[in-house]
Structure 1
């Protein structure tokens, strides 16, 4: 769930996360993201240069809302919230594991610095993926890792393409169209005017 207030108010996001965790009996994984496309940011009036700060503030406060009883309140750059007890509270305490959507090496590093799992949508060669995983865990183990939430989720997941067929060349031929379409669609979304 995107965490910048123009998309979702942190209190509403915290309520939804906790409710889902209750319904799922403590099996929710909390995904966050800043937004990467001009179409999405433009639709909510988010300036690209402000998206990281909006995400950081809202994500940290939603974690506080889930973990603290009562939530002491907050006055920040993007929203205000008085002291309240945000309910319900999740089954997983202090809150479900936090993940950050990542598309580049730099965002994987940001996830590690924030103590979050990195959910990576970057189709890279296995050798490059191994290097990114190594860098992620180096940061997680270092003093640079300062959790945005109340716990560290030291996990990384990378998407990989796969196409299976008895004939290797046929597998490549069939899979290539899908990968090209995915790349085209992702690029088209990023290029839409705000």
Structure 2
């Protein structure tokens, strides 16, 4: 009698959505919350919300509208039951440590432990200027704020001068909500693993830089299967239709991104990455279900990726009907293909 024996079980494939509206920012009204409920019904594991400022305007017809991330997280968590909500990322230099500890713990309590604490230093010069933060203080503020928040979530009181206070509430998740660090440097990626935190890989980063950061994280002891790995994703019924439907969005988005001059920031992009053809081929997972599944599996084979974080709304430039279709196909057709192949690979190796 033939039998299949499994010597190992692969990490469960996870599927998240990322953007300043949790990957749903093709709309900016309460419809976004309706979409969050649909994402939960489709089986998505998490929505990840970016902290951005000065993004979008009532005079602009297209593009993203960015909301306060903690307020938006609260609204999404209140409308869902199982969906996790993370931050991709909160910029620690812009937050008061006590208030941040209280608000994230409050979200965790009210959601029964469905919060992921994604953070980074936050070195955007415009943001620092408006918030009155000296650029040279950012690294120290990041370290101090993270250490304080983790201490505040513990059982002991925190000393302030001659007094000590218990920062309340305490989070449901123990010892605290999972911490994910966003970075563009090898040093911080390695430090993240050494501290036992997760790495969150930004989808706006080129694949060359993604590989470099994942390598540094893994070499320092990090588990690549736990890292939400960001990529722009669009799924249509066929490869040809995906390109036809997505191409106008790619042209608009790359023009906008060139205006941001992200290629001037080391470790993010090169100017060539924002040429529409290069962007489509190297920055985007696009095509029919089988093609998209194979591209995800390629990431798994090369880098150990088991958590795809889809930048599904393309910074809000993807029209809502296309976003809804892509989300449906990604969840109902692409995900089962990926999961089946991952399990089959384990069975073959047994």
Whether these two folds match at TM > 0.5 is yes
Bigger mean CA offset, 55-64 vs 176-185: 176-185
Structure 1 residue aligned with 2:47: none
The equivalent position to 2:170 in structure 1, one of 89, 92, 108, is 89
RMSD of equivalent CA atoms: 3.1
Q: Higher strand share goes to which structure?
A: 2
For residue 111 of structure 1, report the CA deviation from its aligned partner: 2.8
TM-score scaled by structure 1? 0.71
Aligned 8 A contact 2:201 2:210 in 1:
no
When Rg is computed on C-alpha atoms for both structures, the one with the higher figure is 2
TM-score (structure 2 length as normaliser): 0.42
User: Is the 8 Å Cα contact of residues 100 and 116 (structure 1) preserved in structure 2?
Assistant: yes
Distance in 1 of aligned mates of 2:92 and 2:98: 10
Residue 201 of structure 2 is matched in structure 1 by 120
| Aligned pairs (5 A) from 1:28-43 | 28-43=115-130
- Structure 1: distance between partners of 2:187 and 2:139: 13
| In 2, Cα distance between equivalents of 1:103 and 1:81 | 39
Deviations 1:47-78 (CA, angstroms, capped at 9, x unpaired): 2222011110111111100113223x25xxxx
Aligned length: 169
Contact 1:33–1:100 (CA<8 Å) still a contact in 2? yes
Task: Report whether the alignment pairs 1:161 with 2:232.
Answer: yes
Which residue number in structure 1 is paired with residue 244 of structure 2? 170
Instruction: Report 1:104-115 matches (<5 A).
Output: 104-115=185-196
Deviations 1:73-125 (A, max 9, x none): 25xxxxx7941111110101121001122244444334334432222224323
Q: Which residue pairs with 2:108 in the alignment?
A: 21
Equivalent of residue 10 in structure 1, options 76, 79, 97: 97
SS in 2 for 1:61: helix
How far did residue 132 of structure 1 move? 3.1
- Deviation at residue 38 of structure 1 after TM alignment: 0.5
Tell whether the 8 Å contact from 1:108 to 1:120 is kept in structure 2 after alignment.
Answer: no
Contact preservation (8 Å) 2:117, 2:179: yes
